[in-house]
Structure 1
């Protein structure tokens, strides 16, 4: 019971009952799951004004669009017709997927950032203003 109440009020963490109700009402079927546990669904028939079948993602944990890997992003936006299988060959220059950490405790904070004291190392390009007194 507590889990159900948590789902109602914690909409940012996983999916709400309304999301599951929408998926059920639209006849959406599960297409796959990525390495982060996000689940992907597709409606059975086109219901949008553009004539395309709607596709959905239900996040595993915090709902953050930057947690969707590249191949699944392409499928969600109809760039790829078929859902990724995980067997797609990566190019040598491709890096692994990393979510956007901006705004989290793990965000990059360079020297001189206010959260690190606001002091940075002196630089030869630092500007020194002219003063008429001296």
Structure 2
């Protein structure tokens, strides 16, 4: 089914038109740990080089690591491998947006966790219109 939808959909990944025509004249500048590929070439309206990302899988902007986000938005000039300092020992790798998946955050008391909240403590007094 994926091969039939590829020419017509953009949300499943880069379409054939993007790969054949949109990236013509662009130079591949790097890849990230998630398999996304980054390109640079051409100029935008302000004279800066255009920068692109082709996602490895579904098009989800939360899958772009922070260092490559900085490169895409011209916050750093060179690719992150050369422009950014090495990662610190305490830094964790980024995770994609899990909203809408079974791994999404669900606090205690939410309907997905059974809907049972802890009872209110004695320091709470409900508002009434007469009072």
> TM-score, length-normalised on structure 1?
0.79
Deviation at 1:112, TM superposition (A): 1.0
Are residues 124 and 81 of structure 1, via their aligned partners in 2, closer, same or farther at CA, if it must alter by over 3 Å?
A: same
Between the two proteins, the alignment pairs up a number of residues equal to 126
Q: Which runs of 5+ in 1 are unaligned?
A: none
Question: Any residues of structure 2 matched to 1:1-134 within 5 Å, and which?
Answer: 4-20=3-19, 21-24=21-24, 27-43=25-41, 45-46=42-43, 48-85=44-81, 88-92=85-89, 94-124=91-121, 127=124, 129=126
Which secondary structure state, in structure 2, belongs to the residue aligned with residue 19 of structure 1?
A: helix
Q: Which runs of 5+ in 2 are unaligned?
A: none
> TM-score, length-normalised on structure 2?
0.81
Give distance in 1, aligned partners of 2:79 and 2:127. 62
Superposition RMSD in Å: 2.5
Which shows bigger deviation, 122-131 or 5-14? 122-131
Higher strand share: 2
Deviation at 1:130, TM superposition (A): 7.2
